[in-house]
Homo-oligomer: A and B are copies of this chain.
Amino acid sequence: MKNITDIKKSLEKIGLKSQNASKVLINLSTAQKNKALISIANEIKKDSKNILNNNKKDINNAKIKNLSVPLIDRLMLNEQRIKDMVDGVRAIEKLSDPVGKEIKKWKRPNGLKISQIRVPIGVIGIIYESRPNVTADASALSLKSGNTIILRGGSESFYSSNAIVKSIRKGLRKTAVPVECVQMINTIDRKAVDVLLSMNNYIDLIIPRGGKSLVAKIQTNSKIPTLSHLDGLCHTYIDTDADIKKAVGISTNAKMRRTGICGATETLLCHKDVKRTILPEVINNLSSAGCEIRGDKEVKKLSKVIISANERDWSTEYLDSIISVKIVSNVNEAITHIEKYGSNHTDSIITENNKTAELFLEKVNSAIVLHNASTQYADGGEFGMGAEMGIATGKLHARGPVGLEQLTTYKYQIRGKGQVRP
């Protein structure tokens, strides 16, 4: 453990280096950035043995600490996972560079021509869970969008992440991108996070990832703007005009494809008029897929497998094979329920009635609203953005998937002929 003054000094050095590197990176071309990404991918591949050896140290430590099997699995690397990481970096190289793109242009009556142009944000700090691949993904996304990055990985993945960063920096050394564009904080001391969150002179954006309570704490304590994910309480509403096949298919996919992701449906709302026609088949399908059903009074009558839902269920993000089911009188009651209990993340309506669908798409004020599609589409890759830093649940700057474009800001270029302001 270092004392706080030492940590501050060391982090300020990192911050200053990152800021200086940012001034170089911001002016590099797409080709130069792409070359660096290819070089990074190559070095990670070449160094896979070293990365795996370091990963073994993390895994051993995790076993000594008695970490749970899922946590150890998340931490573990193997040949295939390193290949996926390398492919991930290469995929980011292929993505279109948002920097320099014109968002809008217009001309003023006085002749001034105004263009709004995408530019990098600057310096990004990322605080993330013990998931080694994030080290490579986040670094590649930052570089491609013209931002430098300061990494603070989870302590359990300390050796793996450091080995990956070493390869990344080896890759950068051969290119025009300054090696200081990717830096890692080399202490697992938690005080370093507090220091990082106070460095608003150097860092432009903090991206916290990981457990909800940690993210909430970082959001609250950060003196730097944050982009992050909190709650994902998603709904699927089966309308009276729903197609039964779509209702069954979408509900089961929305809940059970992967239960632990933020876009997984947690509550199913069903129009009263189809509770005896469509709902039984939906419940049957979910139940067969291994899902626990918690229903309101009316739903409970439908089957013995259904457990009674209580008030708390409507505001619970299970992230598990459990779904709460409620009967509503109409689409407006569904919208009101979503407004009251939802988290403005992702919500879907299943209906063949376009008017009802459009009402739902307009009135539900979530980051993502869908008609006849699974809530599990809440994902940058599925949007066609390529890799993403995560999903943002705030309302400022970016909402939903945070891809390359969301890692940029803009500037105005104004071209005149000697105009002065009256």
Interface residues, chain A, with chain B CB atoms under 8 Å away: 23, 26-27, 106, 108, 112, 114, 119, 121-122, 200, 204-205, 219-220, 223, 225, 227, 243, 245-246, 249-250, 252-254, 257, 339, 357, 361-363, 365-374, 376-377, 379, 382-384, 394-397, 399-400, 409-421
Contacts and interface: CB of A to CB of B under 8 A. Distances in A.
25 contacts: A108-B382, A112-B373, A204-B395, A225-B396, A243-B418, A245-B418, A246-B418, A250-B418, A257-B420, A257-B421, A361-B413, A365-B411, A366-B411, A368-B414, A369-B413, A370-B414, A372-B417, A372-B418, A373-B420, A376-B421, A377-B414, A377-B419, A379-B421, A396-B409, A399-B411
A412 to B, nearest CB: 5
Given A252-B420, A368-B411, A373-B419, 11 more contacts: A27-B363, A106-B384, A122-B395, A257-B421, A365-B411, A369-B411, A372-B415, A372-B416, A374-B420, A379-B421, A399-B409
Tell me the dominant secondary structure on chain A's binding face.
mixed
A409 B395 contact: yes
Contacts of A368: 411-412, 414
Given A369-B414, A414-B369, A220 B223 contact: yes
A412 B369 contact: yes
Most chain B Cβ neighbours within 10 Å, of A121, A200, A245, A397: A397
Contacts of A122: 395
A384 B116 CA distance: 13
Nearest to A110: B382
A106 B96 CA distance: 15
A89 B51 CA distance: 62
A243 B418 CA distance: 9
A299 B80 CA distance: 65
B365 A420 contact: no
Contacts of A106: 384
A360 to B, nearest CB: 10
B361 A419 contact: no
A267 to B, nearest CB: 18
Most chain B Cβ neighbours within 10 Å, of A223, A417, A419: A419
A420 B223 contact: no
Contacts of A219: 223
A23 B225 CA distance: 26
A421 B255 CA distance: 11
A383 B223 contact: no
A403 to B, nearest CB: 13
A358 to B, nearest CB: 9
A104 to B, nearest CB: 10
Most chain B Cβ neighbours within 10 Å, of A26, A122, A368, A370: A370
Nearest to A254: B420
A183 to B, nearest CB: 20
Closest 5 CB pairs of A and B: A373-B416, A253-B420, A246-B418, A397-B397, A376-B421
A422 B376 CA distance: 10
B367 A108 contact: no
A400 B416 contact: no
A378 to B, nearest CB: 9
Nearest to A243: B418
Nearest to A198: B220
Contacts of A400: 411-412
A370 to B, nearest CB: 4
Contact of A377 (B112, B243, B357, B372): B112
